[in-house]
Amino acid sequence: MTSTVVVGGFFGDEGKGKIVSYLAKKDNPKIIVRGGAGPNAGHTIQDGDKVYKVRMLPSGFLNKNAKVMIGPGVVINPAILLKEIQDFDVSGRSFVDRHCGIIEEKHLTSDSKGELKEKIGSTGSGTGPANADRAMRVLKMAKDVDSLASLIVDVPAEVNSALSSNENVLVEGTQGTFLSLWHGTYPFVTSKDVTASGICADIGLGPKNVDEVIVVFKSYVTRVGTGPLANELSLEDAKRKGWSEFGTVTGRQRRAADFDFDLAKRAIMLNSATQISITKLDVLFPGCAGKKFFEEISDEAKSFIHNIEDKLDTPVTIIGTGPAINDVIDRR
């Protein structure tokens, strides 16, 4: 059995969705299970000429043999989830835990104005206000919502029993280490802990049952919304480097900076990473685009990777070389 936990190492948008989709196909997990905050996350997945944008479903849903699940720690917007299940043809194998929290209209309303929107730059998805209600013990749970009845399973029991039967389980985190409510740049953070420990708690996976923790870093750092970003480039400089990106959920332009070793070191520590994944190497080194073998990339790109391994004392096992799921160098 192998349980593999994938989390973001910077401020979200590291490209976890693509890495998770690759692992979901390559490692054939029986269950792909999502922890993290809620529909404030957005993942873009490109499979051939098809592009999927998901906010609720685990990104690994393209593996049709896998069950996809959402752990009890996550808050759900039922309308978004049900639409994604239908649009992406995942019915019959999508499940939620009875204790997933439910985002209601009032949460969306309070998230779209005031301090959260203006000061924190929240995504307006209702995730923060729903988690606040959960802390107040007044939030509705999935078990209280008729439209979710057919999706409910005991997610922690399913995950742990798959591992006991020697199956692989892929655990998908959302957001990134420095958006963690505990470890991030408070108050400019999301409403949960989103480091590996928090993600495992969200799905009911105990610390002794975690085998691999893959921390995903993009080849440069981006941050959407407010809050500190060391060595931030001007939007023009970011554009010149080809680092202009726009958020999946909000469409806002992401701020950008060079790869940050101080943040990365701390992310390795906080997540007890066993492996590193580096995404968008082709944006930094265009000659790497679409490459599938480490031997094929330029010496400059190789030294970028070796430098990361040396400084962070952790192997870089999976490298993204393009937007499609299979644009990957897998060195495991």
Which residues belong to the active site? Answer: 13, 43
**Residue 121 vs 315, nearer CB to ligand IMP:** 121
Count of residues that interact with Mg ion, criterion CB under 5 A: 3
Q: Kindly state the smallest distance separating residue 77's Cβ from ligand IMP, in Å.
A: 12
Query: Which range in 20-28, 76-84, 85-93, 122-130 contacts ligand IMP by CB under 6 A?
Result: 122-130
- Residue 135 — left, alpha, or beta (φ > 0 → left; ψ -120 to 50 → alpha)? alpha
Query: Which range in 34-42, 160-168, 283-291, 295-303 contacts ligand IMP by CB under 6 A?
Result: 34-42
**Residue 38 vs 156, nearer CB to Mg ion:** 38
82, amino acid identity: L
Count of residues that interact with ligand IMP, criterion CB under 6 A: 24
**Residue 120 vs 162, nearer CB to ligand IMP:** 120
The Cα-based distances of 73 to 21, 96, 186 in angstroms read: 22, 10, 20
CA 194 – CA 288 distance, rounded (Å)? 31
Out of Mg ion, ligand IMP, none, which partner does residue 15 contact, by CB within 5 to 8 A per kind?
Answer: none
The answer to whether 216 contacts ligand IMP (rule: CB under 6 A) is no
The answer to whether 13 contacts Mg ion (rule: CB under 5 A) is yes
- Reported as type and span, the H/E element at residue 74 is none
Out of Mg ion, ligand IMP, none, which partner does residue 122 contact, by CB within 5 to 8 A per kind?
Answer: ligand IMP
> Which positions ≥6 away from 187 have C-beta within 8 Å?
119, 120
The answer to whether 108 contacts ligand IMP (rule: CB under 6 A) is no
Which string of x and - marks every residue 153-192 that binds ligand IMP (by CB under 6 A)? ---------------------xx---x--------x-xx-
CA 7 – CA 221 distance, rounded (Å)? 15
**Residue 121 vs 242, nearer CB to ligand IMP:** 121
Element counts in the chain: helices (H) and strands (E): 11, 16
* Helix locations, the chain, DSSP H: 16-26, 78-87, 105-111, 114-118, 127-135, 155-164, 196-203, 235-240, 261-271, 281-284, 299-312
Q: List the strands of the sheet with 152-153, edge to edge.
A: 152-153, 94-97, 67-70, 31-34, 169-172, 3-8, 212-218, 275-279, 316-320, 328-330
Q: With contact defined as beta carbons under 8 Å apart, do 242 and 284 qualify?
A: no
Q: Kindly state the smallest distance separating residue 159's Cβ from Mg ion, in Å.
A: 24
Query: Which range in 33-41, 70-78, 164-172, 302-310 contacts ligand IMP by CB under 6 A?
Result: 33-41
Residue nearest to ligand IMP (CB): 225
> Which positions ≥6 away from 206 have C-beta within 8 Å?
200
Positions touching Mg ion (CB under 5 A) are 13, 42, 248
Positions touching ligand IMP (CB under 6 A) are 11-13, 37, 40-42, 120-123, 125, 127-128, 174-175, 179, 188, 190-191, 224-227
